[in-house]
Amino acid sequence: MKNRGIAGFLALVVIIAFGVYTALSGFSAGGINIAPLGNQVKQGLDLKGGVYVVYEAQTDAKGEELKKIIDQTIEVFRRRIDTLGLTEPVIVKEGEKRIRIELPGVKNANDALEMIGKTAQLKFALQDGTVIVTGKNVKKSEVVIDQQSKEPLVALEFDAEGAKAFADATEQLAPTQSPIFIVLDNEVISSPVVNEKIPNGQATITGNFTVESASELANLIRAGALPVDFKEIQTSTITATLGENALKMSLLGAKVGIAILIVYMMAFYKLPGLVAAVALAAYGLIVGYSFVGMNATLTLPGIAALILSMGMAVDANVIIFERIKEEIGKGKSLRVAIDAGFSRAMTTIIDSNVTTFIAGVVLYNFGTGPIKGFAVMLMLGIVASMFTAVVVSKLLLKTLANAGFLKNNKLFGA
């Protein structure tokens, strides 16, 4: 029992230490390659530098109509930014009528903004490039479900001018079942084959669509006929030098703070302080890899939230250790004191974490940009701190308690 206790404690410490090493230096063996965690984290504008712009829709549309306009415009912006070769753009709806675009690491801000803000160019063309109709002729583009096959398809409707041109073109193409090329910003987004003449300006595009892929195509076609102008209301360029300096200072501050914290915890709480340090490492691994897994973007407010939630994780451990000391002071055995200490501390820990988590939910729902990033990191940190304090710390303490030779209460700060 004694040996199993020590072996269990050492096994957990080794696993967490290996995780920390991999996070800091990466790992490569047997075809498995894991990059250092720092290389996997996406950095926001304030850390990497770049440009952001906010556009506002110039329309009186409201409700679902406005939502549809914003959604299809976001899709068009995203495709244009993809052509710039940027891998970490952030394109989000801000309020009801605005779209915020962040381009970390962009080198030529003017070219990027010109590309993003230009008017969409949609055309239906023959193989030789002859334009049949343009986006201005498209009255409707939406996803419908075929009543017979129960599969999604894209339904189109053209105005009178477009209907006549489309009828002439499809009459010409139908005998040879030739395709019509749908081109947006000089990129072919679909090339459906014409099976028959379409005389009434109402066409459907079928294929192996999912609801999502059909919606994307319908949105792109609507974007070419978008009747709404977007006004650039805010633009700012952040230099990379500022971001790099800010990141270096933040990391240095975090290292110094964590080192002081660990020394204090071990000096004041002895073995539980060591347990807290190990649990804190586990907390960092959970938060770091969860953040990467969520494909989230790290910003300075996010680092602030990380430090705040780290403080809450330490606070939870302090509450638990104090309760354990009180139970030991009452003359209880170490194992009983650990169980009783965790039980008494649980209500306080849950109350403080739940209320902070609710604040994070509110910030996420009503905030924008960096505030959302702060909220995501805060909520993620709270969940991780609860897990490490309640599960990891308890597991480590109980494995130590099972090592019978550690019976000196002074080793537990009592």
Give the mean model confidence (pLDDT) for residues 142-161. Answer: 88
Q: Give yes or no on whether 1-42+239-411 and 50-237 have one common fold.
A: no
Tokens matching residue 136 = 């201005």
- In this structure, what DSSP letter does residue 62 have? -
Tell me how crowded residue 409 is: count the other CB atoms within 10 A of its CB.
Answer: 14
Q: How confident is the model at residue 193 (pLDDT cuts 50, 70, 90)?
A: very high
Sheet holding 138-145, edge to edge: 138-145, 152-158, 202-205
DSSP characters for 168-198? HHHHHHGGGT-B-EEEETTEEEE-PBP-S--
What is the DSSP pairing of strand 32-34 with strand 131-134?
unpaired
Specify the CATH number for 1-42+239-411; select among 1.20.1640.10, 1.10.645.10, 3.30.2350.10, 3.40.630.10.
1.20.1640.10
Residues 6+ apart with CB under 8 A from 129: none
pTM of the model: 0.62
What is the tally of helices (H) and strands (E) in the chain? 13, 15
- Indicate the domain borders of the chain: 1-42+239-411, 50-237
Higher pLDDT, 31 or 55: 55
Rounded to whole angstroms, how far apart are CA atoms 376 and 371?
9
The answer to whether 242 and 49 are in contact (CB under 8 A) is: yes
Cα–Cα distance for residue pair 365/360, rounded to 1 Å: 9
| Beta carbons within 8 Å of 180's beta carbon, 6+ residues apart | 124, 125, 126, 132, 169, 170, 173, 191, 192, 194
Q: Whole-angstrom Cα distance, residue 115 to residue 109?
A: 10
Q: Which of the four pLDDT bands, split at 50, 70 and 90, describes residue 203?
A: very high
Residue 235: Cβ-neighbour burial (10 angstroms; 0-12, 13-18, 19+): middle
Quote the CA–CA distance of 198 and 196 in Å, as a whole number.
Answer: 6
The closest of 346, 343, 341 to 325, measured between CA atoms, is: 341
| Nearest CA among 381, 208, 374, 183 for reference residue 283 | 381
**Chain segment 381-400, per-residue pLDDT in tens:** 899 988 888 888 888 888 87
Span 110-125, pLDDT tens digits: 766 766 666 566 889 9
CATH class of 50-237: alpha beta
pLDDT tens figures, 11-25: 888 898 999 899 888
